[in-house]
Amino acid sequence: MMTQSLEVLLSVALDISVSMPAEARAQRLVDAVRTALGSDAAALLRLRGDVLEPIAGAGLSADLLGRRFKIAEHVRLQQICAASGPLRFDANSDLPDPFDGHIGAASDPNHRVHACLGCALRVDGLVVGVLTADALDPRAFDDLDDPTLEHVCALAGAALRTIDLVTALQDKTAHEGTASSRRIRGALASSGAVLIGNSSAMRQLREEIDMFARTDLPVLVTGETGVGKELVVGMLHASSRRSDRPLVYMNCAALPESLIESELFGHTKGAFTGAETGRSGKFGVADGASLFLDEVGELPLHVQPKLLRVLQDGELQRVGTDHAERVDVRVLAATNRDLDAAVESGSFRADLLHRLDVGRIRVPALREHAEDIALLAGHFADLCRHRLGCGQVRFDPVALDVLTEQDWPGNVRELENVVSRAVLRGASRALRGEQVLVGVHDLGLSSDPTAAPEATVQETSRASSPTLRDSVTAHQRWRIQRAVADHDGNWSAAARELGLARANLHRLARRLGLK
């Protein structure tokens, strides 16, 4: 094992000097640590304020990377951060482990970590992150010598330092960073307003945000309801040169047509009945800053030429005046409507669309990056746990499978609502402070494998007239999901019930898209 550990340590050291994306560097690090220490799982967490944020993991359930760990709530993490070197925990320690139930891609929520070690990663004496390793075997780390562990932790600290330096250099090259924009980004992150996901679709979305954020060009953010368009607009502003000034918001669909012009451009005293005082309007308030026009596709036609003038010439005319005023406003707009179709139908001006659409960012639907669903579920479970004041939340592996299989017409917003309700149901069964286990039944989804009786499947099949192959496939999926759920996620027991070899069941489940 010593020779293997040395080889792994050498690979980690060589990676530090190799050019590669930050995500790949972090992942290679935890993969190497897991191999070197012979652990079932390893994780690299970055410290942001008083919260540890997982940035890479190996051997852990997918939803864990979407969670955030407040140090004050986890005694083991507190002790790791306070220790001057690597810290091992006794296998019989009764301290709760934040990774209990998360070991393995389809982990058993009841599995308890028995061997645990960790080390604080420091730069100039300050803790910047934590490296952890966990195993189900209580004797997994008995043969691990202290010098090897210290070397692993030292290299991990250097690797994290390299990751942060490379990321900072990329950010500086990409756009002008300011202290205020960092504060805003921190505020967005602390409120849970972050883009969760490691899929190629989400990486591309982040790249587009970074590209457009450093300009003053108008940006049109499109996408279905619930995909997170408002979040994207907030990130565009937070990373822009105007981030030290407010992001002024207006919902174009929330006001009657008679008031929209005044709301946008302002009015003078006495301009109309009830105008007892003058008003600057949203553009006046946003002068020198950014204006977010939500649901811009709902703007009435009579207002659109005036908005076009502001975008084109930087001039507006308040209701009740006959002279123009100059304003410096960056417009960020969002819509779930097809504005190209609206132009064809005559409900939206083509020239206004061209002015708004200098930069376009399409936020992908959740079904287009389904691999991020588990991370999002873990993130939303953590947010809900803090709101409810309940214990740590764990998902039954079958529940995660069911979440991943949904079409999610309401996208991320719908997923958040489903997870929040499920956590509430699970918490109602647990004593205060106890672990909350979210099962399939808690999700309340139509595809709940234990709630879909065979008769319903047959009736659905007749109604949609599927092929015989489709009917057989649907029945196989339902039977497997039902068996796994009945045995609390134990695939071996499910295989015995179904009369299949365990390996054959896993192969069939993969073919049916259940794994």
Per-residue pLDDT of the chain (515 residues; tens, 9 = 90+): 444 555 655 555 555 555 566 777 788 888 888 888 888 899 999 888 899 999 888 888 888 888 999 999 899 999 999 998 899 998 888 888 888 888 875 455 666 778 899 999 887 788 888 999 998 888 888 888 888 788 777 777 777 777 665 555 444 433 333 333 343 344 343 334 568 888 999 999 999 999 999 899 999 999 999 999 999 999 999 989 999 898 999 999 887 877 788 888 876 765 555 566 667 788 888 999 999 999 999 999 989 999 999 998 888 877 767 777 888 999 999 999 999 999 999 999 999 999 999 999 999 999 999 999 999 999 999 999 988 888 889 998 889 989 988 889 999 999 999 999 999 999 988 888 788 999 999 998 865 444 444 443 444 443 445 565 666 677 777 788 878 877 777 888 888 788 777 777 877 787 777 76
353 and 386 in a single domain? The answer is no
Task: Count the neighbouring beta carbons within 10 Å of the beta carbon of residue 442.
Answer: 24
Residue 186: inside a domain: no
Amino acid at 124: D
Please give the order of strands across the beta sheet that includes 69-70: 69-70, 51-58, 41-48, 126-135, 115-123, 87-89
Q: Which residues contact 200 (CB under 8 A, 6 or more apart)?
A: 369
DSSP 260: H
CA–CA separation, 167 and 190 (whole Å)? 20
Residue 183: inside a domain: no
**Chain Cα centroid distance, residue 434:** 26
391 and 319 in a single domain? The answer is no
Report if pTM > 0.85: no
Residue with tokens 């925990």: 89
Residue 354: inside a domain: yes
Contacts 24+ apart (CB under 8 A), 280-283: 281/316, 281/318, 282/248, 282/250, 283/310, 283/316, 283/327, 283/329
153 and 23 in a single domain? The answer is yes
290 and 222 in a single domain? The answer is yes
231 and 273 in a single domain? The answer is yes
**Helices of type H across 268-410:** 281-285, 304-313, 339-345, 350-356, 373-388, 397-405
Residue 179: inside a domain: no
CA–CA separation, 169 and 167 (whole Å)? 5
**Domain boundary residue among 362, 394, 416?**
362
pLDDT of res. 153: 79
358 and 375 in a single domain? The answer is no
389 and 291 in a single domain? The answer is no
Phi and psi of 126, rounded to 5°?
-105, 140
Residue 188: inside a domain: no
464 and 425 in a single domain? The answer is yes
Q: Residue 279: give the domain boundaries.
A: 200-362
Exposure letters 334-365 (e unless 16+ CB within 10 A, then b): bbeeebeebbeeebbbeebbebbeebebbbbb
Residue 185: inside a domain: no
pLDDT of res. 225: 92
Residue 481: inside a domain: yes
CA–CA separation, 454 and 258 (whole Å)? 55
236 and 356 in a single domain? The answer is yes
For residue 269, give both structure tokens. 């005293």
Bridge partners of 118, per DSSP, are 87, 132
**Chain Cα centroid distance, residue 502:** 34
Which of helix, strand or coil describes residue 230? helix
pLDDT of res. 219: 96
Amino acid at 222: T
CA–CA separation, 157 and 71 (whole Å)? 19
Residue 235: inside a domain: yes
Q: Are 121 and 89 in contact (CB under 8 A)?
A: no
208 and 312 in a single domain? The answer is yes
DSSP 175: S
168 and 286 in a single domain? The answer is no
Which of helix, strand or coil describes residue 118? strand
CA-based end-to-end distance of the chain: 32
**Domain boundary residue among 345, 362, 379?**
362
Q: Could you tell me the CATH number of the domain that includes residue 113?
A: 3.30.450.40
Bridge partners of 121, per DSSP, are 129
69 and 215 in a single domain? The answer is no
CA–CA separation, 279 and 284 (whole Å)? 9
Question: Structural domain tally of the chain?
Answer: 3
DSSP string, 455-494: HHHHHHHHHH---HHHHHHHHHHHHHHHHHHHTTT-HHHH
